[in-house]
Structure 1
Amino acid sequence: MIVTNEVDPSPEQMMRFFGAPEDGPFTMVNLLKFKDRAEYEDGSDAQLSGREAYMRYGAAVQKCIADAGARSIASGMVTGLMLGEVEKLWDMVALVEYPSLEAMKNMVMSPEYQAIAIHRKAGLAGQLNIKIKNLGG
């Protein structure tokens, strides 16, 4: 299995993801890997760790999530691996439930989200975003 962490989706990836047929609520599984040091484009806050920069984003994105009608289900630091094998563990996992693809698209395209995304980019070395269809219950 090849695993490639990325920070930002390409325009093609965005079109493919958000252009998929609408199928209702889903949960986005975010597997996050932080940079050792934050890297802001303007060189500011170089004393911050990547985790600290990402936590700025994590705190601010909660309003965007709520405004989109979505909700954070769980998040936390990865502390171990019970089964399987990976070269390096992700640092953090976050689960967010969205009511629809359109709701998520509107959130990530909003000026509010774009304004805080600088902290995400400064802190992340890479991530995997995995969409899972909610089965109800």
Structure 2
Amino acid sequence: MHVANAVMPRPEQAQLFFAGADSGPMVMINLLKFKDKAEYPDGSDAGLSGKDAYLRYGAAVQKCLEMVGGRAVFSGDVTGIILGDVEELWDMVALAWYPGPQAMLQMVGLPEYQGIEVHRFAGLAGQLNIRTAPGLMAL
């Protein structure tokens, strides 16, 4: 299995994701890898860690999630692995619930979201986003 983190989806990935037949509620699993140091375009906050820059985004994105009917479900640092092998562990896992893929698309178009995305880009080295359909456990 090949695993490659990315910061933005390829256009064909996004098209398939948002045009797919699965339009129901989803939980997005975010496997996050941070830069050692934040990299803001204007050079500000040069001493800030990538994780701390991303946490600025994480705190602000909760309002954006709520604006489209979604919510943050869980986040936590990755502390180890017991099954399987990867070359390098992710730094954090975050779960977000959305009423459907279109809500996610709506969120990234919000001016409020676009105003905080700078922190995401400053701190994030790459990630995997995995869509799941909520199962038996209530969220």
TM-score range, shorter chain: over 0.9
Q: Is the 8 A contact 2:23 2:102 kept in 1?
A: no
Q: Is 1:48–2:48 an aligned residue pair? A: yes
Q: Is 1:23–2:26 an aligned residue pair? A: no
Partner-residue secondary structure (3-state), 1:131: strand
Matched residue, 1:67:
67
Matched residue, 2:5:
5
The count of aligned residue pairs is 137
List, as ranges, runs of 4+ consecutive aligned residues in structure 1 with deviation greater than 3 Å: none
Partner-residue secondary structure (3-state), 1:45: coil
Partner-residue secondary structure (3-state), 1:79: coil
Percent identity reads: 60
Unmatched segments (≥5 aa) in structure 2: none
Unmatched segments (≥5 aa) in structure 1: none
Taking structure 1 as the reference length, what is the TM-score of the superposition?
0.95
Q: Is 1:39–2:42 an aligned residue pair? A: no
Task: State the Cα deviation string for residues 76-112 of structure 1 (Å, max 9, x = none).
Answer: 1011111111111100000011001111110011111
Partner-residue secondary structure (3-state), 2:90: coil
**What is the RMSD of the two structures over their aligned residues, measured on CA atoms?**
1.2
* Range that drifts further, 14-23 or 26-35: 14-23
